[in-house]
Amino acid sequence: MLALQQQRPRRPDHCVVERQQRAADASVYILKDTAGRSYMKLSEEGLFVWQLMDGEHTIADMCRAYVARFERPAPAEVLRALARLHAAGFARWQDVDADRHSTAATRAGRLRALLSLCTWYCSLPDMDRKMTALYGSVRALYTPLAQAVLALLAGAGAIAFARQIAASPAWTGGAVSRSLVIWLASLALHLVVHEAAHAATCKHFGRQVHRAGIGWYFFAPVAFVDTSDIWAAARLPRILVSAAGPYSNLVLSGVAALAALLLAGADWQDALLSFSATGYVLVLVNINPLLELDGYYIVMDMLEIPNLRARALAHLGSVLRGRVVEEPRLRVVFMLFGAASLAYGIAVGIGVLLAYGTYIGDFAGSYLPHPYAQAVAWAFAGTMSFIILHRLLDGLRPRR
């Protein structure tokens, strides 16, 4: 511990800090690594720690300065901040007593590796030039007239879809729309347009988009573009970038529904209605604020409360332990969002356990004897549910 206190962390090169344009009183700063294209949000306290990382101040010096500056005896906050900065690649210092901690780190690493199954991402090389070219090709869509036309298509298409489904309450799609190839093609096109809309809107506001790729989010494949550079912009651009993806799916689904209304031929109509339904389901999933997808970031930016989910769960955990530390104006928001996130997460964990246990059991039953198939199915489903619920309950631990 004495050796750790004498360490002198320093900032890496090629890093800049921007203050986020916010209407709220609390300041948020965006730390950007211009070489590694990575980002991190900092509070006022985090910025203070960052500014002390000059290679001259020891960690002990930083803890003393932090306590004096913010007038609360919490030097552990400095250590947590340094740990997060180091994990994100924004802090450099000499390793201390690495051999002694290697065994413990290995054990912790195994659990982290298991928990990381929830999320995994693979990025393509720097994509900013390609995204700039993409925006140049669709720039005309960002004019007021074009946006009015797109909104009209989205609204009229939603009405047309609802009327066609209402006219055939038992509609489940024909053989064409139930085809796995058709469904995968529909999903792929919606995902590509969704992510392209995020990227183009980010470029519309003069920001950079360096990463794009595919990943794995809670056992479902996803595509993504990294629009973190918009974090430093004002609230409305941040909201519009998040909303651009679901909005593009609304427009695309609306156009397909209108085409199904105009075209003759049962197969074409079934395929187009199935395409529209895929888009509308994606919209509903993405605007759900209890998942860390577009709807969550829209709500977070509307309220201007960074890390809303983590802070709400931590606040709920503090309430359960009888230790409430948040300011009164945020207590209602944190209680409501934290309770909703907890209930939703538990429901998802149970749903995954039951649905995956049954589905995998049926699939494995084609290759294994029934007892073995059931054991494999429930073991796999139980592992997935454990990962979901562990991450959820871990968020209830109070942290600053």
249 pLDDT exceeds 50?
yes
Q: Which CATH number fits domain 2-96: 3.90.930.60, 3.40.50.720, 3.10.400.10, 1.10.3720.10?
A: 3.90.930.60
Chain centroid to Cα 374, Å, comes to 33
* pLDDT level of residue 244 (50, 70, 90 thresholds): very high
pLDDT at position 369, please?
83
Q: Which residue has the higher pLDDT, 221 or 19?
A: 19
Q: Is the pLDDT of residue 101 over 50?
A: no
Residue 370: the pLDDT is 78
Question: Can you give the pLDDT at residue 103?
Answer: 45
Give Cβ neighbours of residue 157 (< 8 Å, ≥ 6 apart).
250, 251, 253, 254, 255, 256, 257, 258, 276
- Phi and psi angles of residue 134, each rounded to the nearest 5 degrees, phi first: -60, -45
**Under 8 Å CB-to-CB from 207, ≥6 apart: which residues?**
227, 229, 230, 233
Each residue of 278-322: pLDDT tens digit? Answer: 999 999 999 999 988 899 999 999 988 888 888 888 888 888 777
3-state DSSP assignment of residue 221: strand
Least confident of 64-68, 114-118, 213-217: 114-118
Q: For all residues of the chain together, what is the average pLDDT?
A: 81
Cα separation, 13 vs 284, whole angstroms: 42
Residues above pLDDT 70, as percent of the chain: 84
What would the two tokens of residue 78 be?
């400095």
pLDDT in tens, 178-197: 567 788 888 899 999 999 99
* Beta bridge partners of residue 215, listed in sequence order: 121, 222
Section 330-337 average pLDDT: 86
Beta carbons of 52 and 81 less than 8 angstroms apart = no
Q: Which of 47-51, 195-199, 345-349, 365-369 has the highest mean pLDDT?
A: 195-199
Average pLDDT estimate for 75-99: 74
- Enumerate the domain spans of the chain: 2-96, 126-303, 308-394
Give one word for 55, left, alpha or beta, with left for phi > 0 and alpha for psi -120 to 50. Answer: left
| Residue whose tokens read 């073991």 | 379
Please check the confidence at residue 144 and state whether its pLDDT lies above 80.
yes
How far apart (Å, rounded) are the C-alpha atoms in residues 307 and 235?
15
215 against 294, higher pLDDT: 294
